Structure 1
Amino acid sequence: MRRLLNFLYDSAAALAALFMVGLLGMVLLSIASRQLHFHVPGTDAYAGYLMAAAGFLALAHTLKRGEHIRVTLLLNFLKGGAKKAFEIWALAIATLLALLFAVYSSKLAWQSHEFHDISTGSDATPLWIPQIAMAVGTVILAIAFVDELVLEMMGQRVDAPTGEALRNE
């Protein structure tokens, strides 16, 4: 099961990276079209869709790597059972919020499909298409939070080392 979950998180991150490359392509196309005096309609909208897709699909992978911003001020004062209880409480709340986010983003994509909702830009893209990436990303994030909660309750959760998040500064 662990290998399957890690594959899911890594696959979503790889897809996010692919969307980032697509975003780069859209930005370069937009720049080139301005310099060469031709217009490609919808490049701004598609760049936005690709950026949103990359961000949402990378959420679970980022969580599992300990790269999400955490406020540990209170947590650093707690020890033993109190610290574990607080971690479980925080993860339970985060799991609930992630599940709600997944349900409502999936519902949004479904409703956009059902109502044939299209973007207001010149591209007239059916909105359910870019919203699928948001729905998939939030579902995978919810799975990752459930995974973290179960690992914490079983005492198998590994925290990022102190100062690990600062390594890129």
Structure 2
Amino acid sequence: MDKLVRNLYRLLTGLSCVSMVAAFLIVLLGVLSRQVSFIDVQGLDAYAGYAIAAALFFALPGTLQNGDHIRVTLMLDRLPARGRAFFEWFCLIAALALTAYVAWYATRSVWISYVTHDISPAADASPLWIPQISMAVGSIGFAIAFAHALVLRARGESLIAASEAARSE
């Protein structure tokens, strides 16, 4: 099971990379379309925004695993070992609850947009449920990452690697 969820993190990180390249290409196409007046592509700004949002949400689980999220250790470093353990458990449980709620809400938003045939108010007039899928998938992956971190913590292991900057301090 551990290998399966770690492969999920890799897959989502790969999708994040693809989304970043797509955002770059869309912005590049927008710049070129302004320079060469015979090309007129509607909704490029919206598509670039969708791609950037997809990149951000897809990257959440992988960055958690790699220790690239901001962790405030100022208070943790000053707590005794038992207090630190309690606080880490509390934070992991609270983070799982919050990310599970966000995942549920994002999934619900996709469904509501699909059922109501909600479209983008931008020039692209795309069905909104399509770009919202990346938010829902990334949020679900993030919630899975926190559940995975809790399971590993219960086994005495750690999912969240310390980043290079944190290790050097």
- Length-normalised TM-score, structure 1: 0.93
Q: 2:58, 2:160 → 1: CA distance?
A: 22
The count of residues paired between Structure 1 and Structure 2 equals: 166
CA RMSD of aligned residues (A): 1.4
1:141 paired to 2:142: yes
Identify the residue that residue 116 of structure 1 maps to in structure 2.
Answer: 117
Identify the residue that residue 164 of structure 1 maps to in structure 2.
Answer: 164
Q: 1:158, 1:42 → 2: CA distance?
A: 40
User: How far has the Cα of 1:159 moved from its partner?
Assistant: 5.1
Cα pair distance change 1:158/1:40, threshold 3 Å: closer
* 1:101-149 deviation line (CA, Å, top 9, x unaligned): 0000100011000000000112110000000000000000000001111
User: How far has the Cα of 1:160 moved from its partner?
Assistant: 3.5
Instruction: State how 1:19-98 maps to structure 2 within 5 Å.
Output: 19-37=19-37, 38-98=39-99
Q: 1:56, 1:49 → 2: CA distance?
A: 11
Q: Which segment is superposed worse, 71-80 or 138-147?
A: 71-80
SS at match of 2:109: helix
User: How far has the Cα of 1:158 moved from its partner?
Assistant: 5.4
* 1:23-55 deviation line (CA, Å, top 9, x unaligned): 111011001111111321011000000000010
1:153 paired to 2:154: yes
Structure 2 contact 65–160 (Cα < 8 Å) conserved: no
Structure 1 contact 88–153 (Cα < 8 Å) conserved: no
Cα pair distance change 1:77/1:158, threshold 3 Å: farther
User: How far has the Cα of 1:165 moved from its partner?
Assistant: 3.2
Q: 2:93, 2:165 → 1: CA distance?
A: 23
Q: 1:154, 1:76 → 2: CA distance?
A: 22
Identify the residue that residue 9 of structure 2 maps to in structure 1.
Answer: 9
Runs of 4+ deviating beyond 2 Å = 158-161
Q: 2:67, 2:24 → 1: CA distance?
A: 26
User: How far has the Cα of 1:166 moved from its partner?
Assistant: 5.8
Structure 2 contact 67–160 (Cα < 8 Å) conserved: yes
Structure 2 contact 26–44 (Cα < 8 Å) conserved: yes
* 1:58-93 deviation line (CA, Å, top 9, x unaligned): 000000100001111110112322211110001100
Structure 1 contact 66–165 (Cα < 8 Å) conserved: no
